[in-house]
Chains A and B, each alone.
Chain A
Amino acid sequence: AQSVAQPEDQVNVAEGNPLTVKCTYSVSGNPYLFWYVQYPNRGLQFLLKYITGDNLVKGSYGFEAEFNKSQTSFHLKKPSALVSDSALYFCAVRLTGYSTLTFGKGTMLLVSP
């Protein structure tokens, strides 16, 4: 079985400040990890993924995420938040050998001007 936890329903940050959106996972093997963003009434847009290799992954719109195997975490980060980053963010995991993604409940990011 595989699962994802996003412990924060909402994260508030001021524009220009760094942001972190947390994600922890539980799988019985090696995971593929993903972050997606969703704007109101829209589908999910892919941000970045970890498959193997370097633990720090860089993605779209200046986002990055760090894979930490010992803590089973894959937190999403950005050095300087923009108001336009305000959206719903989902972490997802796929176990190697399987084809389906399991998503977390999502974290609403609100960036204030």
Chain B
Amino acid sequence: DTGVSQDPRHKITKRGQNVTFRCDPISEHNRLYWYRQTLGQGPEFLTYFQNEAQLEKSRLLSDRFSAERPKGSFSTLEIQRTEQGDSAMYLCASSPAPQGKELFFGEGSRLTVL
């Protein structure tokens, strides 16, 4: 299967700890997105990369959140000093140019902060 893969699928951590999620997009896709989904809500945009450049960040992305895509392939999303409100499903998606193309989502990484 050459779809979008995310790791880990589940992460349980204590408040105040740092966590990192990894996303491997579909190989020929130059665009990569991070979304957050909480129970009963639709996915909310966090940030977007085109190749290695981070082109857009949501106001939802506080200073504790950082995302990278160093070589324009895989991406990481790090959350520092986690809070209980960070508990959510973190979804990664990728797409090719041009703009009309749909996003292809991974299975998500579920974070539980105790």
| Interface positions of A (Cβ within 8 A of B) | 4, 32, 34, 36, 41-46, 49, 51, 90, 92, 94, 96-106
**Chain B interface residue bracket vs A:** 20 to 34
Question: In the bound complex, do residue B105 and residue A99 qualify as a contact, i.e. CB atoms below 8 Å apart?
Answer: no
Question: In the bound complex, do residue B45 and residue A46 qualify as a contact, i.e. CB atoms below 8 Å apart?
Answer: no
Question: In the bound complex, do residue B91 and residue A44 qualify as a contact, i.e. CB atoms below 8 Å apart?
Answer: yes
List 18 contacting pairs A-B, 8 Å CB cutoff, sorted by A.
A32-B100, A41-B110, A43-B4, A43-B91, A43-B106, A45-B105, A46-B102, A46-B104, A49-B102, A90-B42, A99-B31, A99-B50, A99-B56, A99-B99, A100-B45, A103-B35, A105-B42, A106-B40
Q: Which residue of B lies closest to A43 (CB)?
A: B105
Is B25 part of the binding interface, using a Cβ–Cβ cutoff of 8 Å? Answer: no
Q: Enumerate chain B residues within 8 angstroms of A101, measured Cβ to Cβ.
A: 33, 43, 45, 103
Q: Which residue of B lies closest to A36 (CB)?
A: B105
> How many Å lie between the Cα of A102 and that of B41 in the bound state?
12
Q: Which of chain B's residues 49-85 have a Cβ closer than 8 Å to chain A? A: 50, 55-56
Q: Which residue of B lies closest to A92 (CB)?
A: B42
Question: In the bound complex, do residue B105 and residue A100 qualify as a contact, i.e. CB atoms below 8 Å apart?
Answer: no
